Every structure is written in structure tokens, then in C-alpha cells.
């Protein structure tokens, strides 16, 4: 199979999004245009410059590899699927060119653990899902934790994926020391580093590559001299002197956040401030408190909108949470105390977690556990306060409000801080603005962020939202879930009113407006509830039988009630012999509850007639003979070749000989007429 056909096959099997497919195509174009990229021979600086020159026409943004080996950067917005693209790169390079050895680099422990999970078979986000060849023989995953126990590596024929954490390597090379990976291995007879460096087809993949600039660990890894480097990042720049940003010079694919928003892959960010807010009128402490309070206001309204959307569309509910970005650990601790005690009278006590390096031992384990569960609907956590720990690799879909309280320029704030909240909870845009929107509370930097987003070269366009000052918005937003009157009267459900994130439960009684007419006096005891539930389910089933129940009035018939009572008793039978002390309901008491339940349902049901359309008169079908006039056809025998013609260029291509099926005998051609 040609390399180009491999591109199409990989894109189809992995169901790549169009920016992922375009990235894979650009990698193919680079390798085909410059065969030297596939050459494992040593490359001099002159060789690297010659490669760049050869690729200049195809990739105008490529000015330098920025490393001691050919390295191409693919800049894709957060939420588009960079890890999936890494899997596509590996699959393509193995299928098209036979490469077997890959070195995947993570910038920190969080992403390191995530990459190991995503490259492990039978996990939710397995990157090779859809590749049948890897289903039977999955790639061998070697990590920074187990590489010393892996022997005879050179004897394997399958794909090997090495996953290492650069932050750990950085800590090992401090003071000019050699990293642990360079130590002699008793299994290999050489260091693992030397083993990798001697591989002729080693490909280095760098996740979040903006973190690999000028670090000691990366300088050590340069000595690996990989065949090719592939970098992935959502922020293809680094901050230089004076807060200015320096763009990467080796970008070959750029798909920025504005495009991802337009194509519906991520939430739409919106910058939020108060109406007529003037930062100069407030102290830094006051601005911080105002931003926190307004962030919670937005968070509470978002909760109500999400609950309403889930109820109206029959989808699982999403519990949103708020991210408050602190300056340092001391600031984070102060924010934790403030939010849990002073703000909104301690309403958020026990609902806030602090995520930073100050936690150790059991506290650290609890912090990680709470952080991993924050996406679950039943998690109590509503506010997370991180300190430089959740910049990349933390994939959650229910982050809806961000309050940045640390110093940052507008571009860094836009591209890094909001990246954690861009993923959509339902995997696609819903068309409901509040459900599809990420809110950034930026009172003090509102104008600066808006100006940055409005620049011609900005990677994003932001919406602007202005909040009314507290106390001027009138009644709080409410989401009311209204169950059916019948279920309320039967005691099966309760009405719920969600106000500012709290849920008020109202239990109807016989005195409520629901209890009207002849069923006003029907009251069910608590022990009747299992029978009522079973009766409700049985009636729903037998209602499908129009012969038994042509209308709801049939529920009043003794024979129908007897049938329902029999089915209900069968459902209520215990799985084992009743234990001493446990009572069973008599048939008479069950029949009484069934009768009351049927009475409520008859009173609260509006019959909808079933309409059946039937044709009138006889329906006839049959076959009629006919004679096909072929006297004007002068077709001559011709080659059985397949010809393809491009619709745009008109170019014709012969694809090969067509398949032929020989019939044993001619069949009579007939027509079916109604």
C-alpha cells in the first residue's frame, strides 16, 4: 500500500477530525518531499538547513527545526485531540515506512500518567481504537518506571512506544549529573539511553512541546539524535524578555482556537466583567473579592441552565465547577479560607479543594482523589483552586467558569488559562449558548483581553458579557422540574425547584392543587409505594395490548384489575423464603392498592385515539411480460477495464481489469407492477 493510501486508511479507521487529518497529510507531504527526513544517517547543520530549504515552498512558516535533529511542530487548539493525533502519527509511520520505535515525551507527571492510560489497550480513550492490526498485536508500552526491567528489547518485532516524563529527567540532570536513563543496564549490556540512540528508526513525539525549550533534560535528549521529531502544542510560542512572546519557527500545521470554536469542537470563551466597572476605583483586594463573588454568581446560573437543558433533552445532567487560579500556595490557602467562610455565608464550606504542591502524604492523596472525581455528577466539589498544576493534560468537560487571580499578560491568559475549560461535556455543541460557553471573569483585564482578542493575528475571538451589579438583577434564576400529575398523586415523585444551585423539594399532599376531583381522597401509605411502582409499570406494559386495554376506562373492569393484581404479585414475590419478622402483603391488600392506583391513572389520563390507515378495495400484484427493443443498440465488445475520471481536472486513470461474473443461463427479465 502506498504511503498516501495509508494516510486515507488511518484517517478513516481512527475517525480523525479534519484538522487531525490535515496534520497527518502534512507529515506525509514533508516525508515525501524531502526523503532525507527518512534517512537515518548522521545529519550535519548544513544537512538540516538543506532540508529546511527544500521544504520552504511547501511550508512557508518553517524557518528552522530549532533542535539538533529535524523537528516539525503541529499547533492544534486544546480540545481538538492531540493525543489521538499522536496515535495516528505512529500508525502511519509504522504502516507506511515500517518504523517500530517511538519515544513519547510528557512535560509533567499528570500528562505522563494520562499518556500511559491512553496508549494502554481497553481504556476509554485508547489512541489505536479502530486499528485492527494493533488489536491482535498491540504496541509494547515501555515507561520511565519499568524500562530497567525490560530485557531483550531488540528481539521484538512489534511496535515499541517509550513514554517518559521530562520533569523527572530534568530533576536528575541538575548540577551537571547524568540522568538515570544513561546508567548501565544489566539486561542490555549498555545504558537504555545508548540502546535508544543506536536505533535507526527512533521517532521522538513531544506532547505540549512549548514546555521543552531550553531545559537541561531536552538538551540531554538531543544526544539521542532521533530520526525525526514531532511536536504537538496548543501554544506555539514562549514568553521572552519583557513579557513578549516568541513564536516557534518550526510550525508546519496551525489550527488555532478561533478555528476550533468556529468548527464546533470546543466551547466558546466569553470574557466577563461588570457594567461600568472601573478598576481604578477599587483596591487590589476589593477587585479580587468582586471577581470571586461575580464568578460564583455566573457559576450558580450556569448550574441552573445545565440542569434545565438535561431535563428538557433527556441527557445525563452535568455538574459544573469553577476554577480560581491563585498566585502561590499562600494565596491559595487564603482564598480557600475566604470562600469557605466569608463569601455567601459559608455556603461553599466543604465544596472547595486546593490543588498545589503544599499537600503531602494523606492530604495529597485526598487532593488527587477529589480532583479526579470533580467531573462526576455526585462530587461535592464546586470550586478548584490550583497553583501552576493544571495548565496542561487535565482533561475535564464540566469546567464552565474561570477566575484568574494571578498576574499574566492577555495572550497567556487567553491561550493557557482557558484551555482547561474548552472541552464540551456532550462531545458536540448543543446550540444552547450557556451550555456551549466558557466564562472568564476578568474585570481588571477586561479591556486588555478584548483588545488582544481583537487583533488581526489573534488566535481567538472572545464574546463580551457584562454583569449587572449585585442586587440589581431582580429574582434569581430558577429551574423547575414538573412531573406528571399522576406520578405526584401516586407519591412516586416530588417536584423540584432549583434556585441558585440549591434544590428545594416540594412534596404534594391531598390538599395540593394536584389532588382534584374524585381522587382527592386517595392517600397511599409509605409501605404501599413498592406496590404502586409495580402497578404503574404493569399498566404501562399491558396498555400496549389494545385488545385488553382499548382505552384507560378498561382499568375499571374487574377482570383487568385481577390480571394487573396477579402480575404485580408475581413481581413482589421475594427471591428467597421470607425471613422471620418480615411480613408479606395479602392478595386482598395488593388488590386494594391496585384499585386505588388504577383510579388515579384513569382520572389523570387523556386517551389519544390510535389511528390506523388501511387501503380500500383489493390490492393486486403480479408479473407482466415485456419485450425489450434493442434494434438501435450497436454496442461492440470492449476491454473490461475500470476507468476513473477526476471531476475537477478531467484526468482519466486506468485502475485495472474489472471483475466478471459468468451466468450459467439467461434469466427472463420481468417487471413487478402493483
User: What confidence tens digit (pLDDT) does each residue in 514-550 have?
Assistant: 334 444 456 678 788 888 888 888 888 888 887 888 8
| Residue 153 confidence (pLDDT) above 70 | no
Q: Rounded distance, CA 333 to CA 353, Å? A: 10
Burial 447-483 (b: 16+ CB within 10 A, else e): eebbebbeeeebbbebbeeebeeeeeeeeebebeeee
pLDDT band with cut points at 50, 70 and 90 for residue 162: very high
361-386 burial code (b ≥16 CB/10 A, e <16): eeeeeebeebbeebbeeebebbbbbb
Find which of 173-182, 291-300, 520-529 is predicted with most confidence, using mean pLDDT: 291-300
User: What is the reported pLDDT for 515?
Assistant: 39
**pLDDT higher than threshold 80 for residue 390:** no
Is it the case that residue 569 has pLDDT exceeding 80?
yes
Q: Return the exposure string of 97-123: e unless at least 16 CB atoms fall within 10 Å of the residue's CB, then b.
A: eebbbbbbbbbbebbbebbbebbeeee
Average pLDDT over residues 443-450: 68
- pLDDT category at 84 given cuts 50, 70, 90 is very high
Cell of 425: 461535556
Task: Dig out the grid coordinates for 649 from the structure.
Answer: 481536472
Work out the average pLDDT over 348-373.
84
Alpha-carbon distance of 481 to 501, in angstroms, equals 14
Residue (of 446, 421, 165, 161) closest to 287 by Cα position: 446
Other beta carbons less than 10 A from residue 129's beta carbon: 17
More confident residue, 405 or 477: 405
- Residue 392's pLDDT band (boundaries 50, 70, 90)? low
Give me the sign of the Cα torsion angle 295, 300, 305, 309: positive
Helix%, strand%, coil% for the chain, nearest 5 = 40, 15, 45
586-601 tens-digit pLDDT = 778 888 888 888 888 8
Number of Cβ atoms within 10 Å of the Cβ of 587: 10
Which grid coordinates are listed for 150?
Answer: 525490560
Contact 549, 542 (CB under 8 A): yes
What does the pLDDT read at residue 652? Answer: 40
**Which of 20, 51, 235, 241 lies closest to 130, judged by CA?**
20
Q: What is the mean pLDDT of the chain?
A: 78
More confident position, 394 or 657: 394
Amino acid at each position: 500500500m502506498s504511503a498516501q493510501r495509508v494516510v486515507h486508511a488511518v484517517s478513516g479507521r481512527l475517525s480523525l477530525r479534519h484538522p487531525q487529518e490535515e496534520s497527518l497529510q502534512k507529515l506525509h507531504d514533508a516525508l515525501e518531499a524531502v526523503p532525507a527526513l527518512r534517512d537515518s544517517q548522521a545529519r550535519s547543520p548544513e544537512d538540516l538547513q538543506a532540508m529546511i530549504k527544500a521544504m520552504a515552498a511547501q511550508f512557508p512558516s518553517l524557518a528552522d527545526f530549532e533542535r539538533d535533529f529535524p523537528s516539525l511542530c503541529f499547533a492544534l487548539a486544546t480540545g481538538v485531540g492531540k493525543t489521538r493525533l499522536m496515535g495516528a502519527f505512529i500508525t502511519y509511520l509504522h504502516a507506511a515506512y515500517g518504523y517500530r520505535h517511538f519515544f513519547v515525551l510528557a512535560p509533567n507527571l499528570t500528562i505522563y500518567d494520562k499518556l500511559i492510560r491512553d496508549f494502554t489497550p481497553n481504556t476509554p480513550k485508547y489512541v489505536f481504537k479502530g486499528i485492527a492490526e494493533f488489536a491482535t498485536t498491540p504496541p509494547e508500552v515501555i515507561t520511565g518506571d519499568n524500562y530497567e526491567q525490560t530485557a531483550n528489547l531488540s528481539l521484538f518485532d512489534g511496535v515499541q512506544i517509550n513514554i517518559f516524563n521530562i520533569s523527572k529527567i530534568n530533576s536528575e540532570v541538575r548540577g551537571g549529573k547524568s540522568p538515570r536513563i544513561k546508567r548501565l543496564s544489566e539486561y542490555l549490556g549498555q545504558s537504555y539511553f545508548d540502546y535508544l540512540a543506536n536505533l535507526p528508526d527512533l521517532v521522538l513525539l513531544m506532547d505540549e512541546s512549548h514546555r521543552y525549550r531550553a531545559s537541561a533534560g531536552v538538551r540531554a535528549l538531543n544526544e539521542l539524535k532521533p530520526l525525526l521529531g514531532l511536536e504537538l502544542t496548543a501554544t506555539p510560542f514562549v514568553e521572552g524578555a519583557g513579557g513578549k512572546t516568541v513564536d516557534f519557527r518550526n510550525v508546519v500545521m496551525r489550527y488555532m482556537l478561533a478555528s476550533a470554536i468556529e468548527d464546533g469542537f470546543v466551547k466558546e470563551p466569553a470574557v466577563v466583567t461588570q457594567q461600568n466597572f472601573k478598576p481604578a476605583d477599587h483596591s487590589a483586594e476589593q477587585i479580587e473579592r468582586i471577581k470571586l463573588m461575580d464568578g460564583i454568581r455566573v457559576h450558580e446560573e450556569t448550574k441552573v441552565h445545565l440542569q434545565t437543558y438535561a431535563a428538557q433533552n433527556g441527557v445525563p445532567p452535568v455538574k459544573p465547577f469553577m476554577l480560581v487560579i491563585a498566585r502561590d500556595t499562600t494565596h491559595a490557602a487564603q482564598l480557600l479560607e475566604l470562600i469557605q467562610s466569608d463569601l455567601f455565608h459559608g455556603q461553599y464550606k466543604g465544596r472547595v479543594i486546593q490543588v498545589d504542591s503544599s499537600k503531602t502524604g494523606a492530604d495529597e492523596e485526598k487532593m488527587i482523589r477529589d480532583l479526579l472525581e470533580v467531573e462526576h455528577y455526585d462530587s461535592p466539589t464546586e470550586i478548584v483552586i490550583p497553583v501552576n498544576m493544571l495548565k496542561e493534560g487535565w482533561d475535564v468537560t464540566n469546567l464552565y467558569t474561570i477566575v484568574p487571580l494571578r498576574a499574566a499578560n492577555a495572550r497567556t491568559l487567553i491561550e493557557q488559562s482557558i484551555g482547561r475549560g474548552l472541552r464540551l461535556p456532550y462531545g458536540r455543541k448543543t446550540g444552547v449558548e450557556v451550555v456551549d460557553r466558557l466564562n472568564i471573569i476578568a474585570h481588571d483585564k477586561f479591556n486588555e483581553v478584548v483588545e488582544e482578542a481583537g487583533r488581526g493575528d489573534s488566535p481567538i475571538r472572545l464574546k463580551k458579557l457584562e454583569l449587572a451589579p449585585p442586587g440589581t438583577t431582580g429574582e434569581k434564576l430558577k429551574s423547575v422540574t414538573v412531573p406528571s400529575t399522576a406520578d405526584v398523586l401516586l407519591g412516586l415523585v416530588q417536584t423540584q425547584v432549583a434556585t441558585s444551585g440549591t434544590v428545594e423539594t416540594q412534596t404534594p399532599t391531598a390538599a395540593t392543587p394536584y389532588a382534584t376531583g374524585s381522587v382527592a381522597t386517595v392517600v397511599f401509605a409509605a409501605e404501599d409505594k413498592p406496590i404502586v411502582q409495580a402497578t404503574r409499570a404493569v399498566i404501562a406494559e399491558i396498555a400496549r395490548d389494545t385488545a385488553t386495554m382499548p382505552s384507560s376506562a378498561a382499568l375499571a373492569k374487574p377482570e383487568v384489575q385481577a390480571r394487573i393484581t396477579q402480575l404485580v404479585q408475581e413481581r413482589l414475590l421475594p427471591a428467597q423464603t421470607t425471613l422471620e419478622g418480615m411480613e408479606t402483603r395479602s392478595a386482598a391488600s395488593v388488590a386494594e392498592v391496585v384499585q386505588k392506583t388504577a383510579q388515579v391513572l384513569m382520572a389523570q389520563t387523556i386517551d389519544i385515539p390510535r389511528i390506523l390507515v388501511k387501503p380500500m378495495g383489493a390490492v393486486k400484484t403480479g408479473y407482466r411480460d415485456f419485450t425489450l427493443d434493442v434494434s438501435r443498440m450497436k454496442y461492440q465488445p470492449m476491454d473490461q477495464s475500470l476507468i476513473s475520471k477526476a471531476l475537477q481536472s478531467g484526468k482519466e486513470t486506468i485502475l485495472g481489469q474489472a471483475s466478471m461474473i459468468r451466468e450459467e443461463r439467461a434469466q427472463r427479465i420481468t417487471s413487478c407492477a402493483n
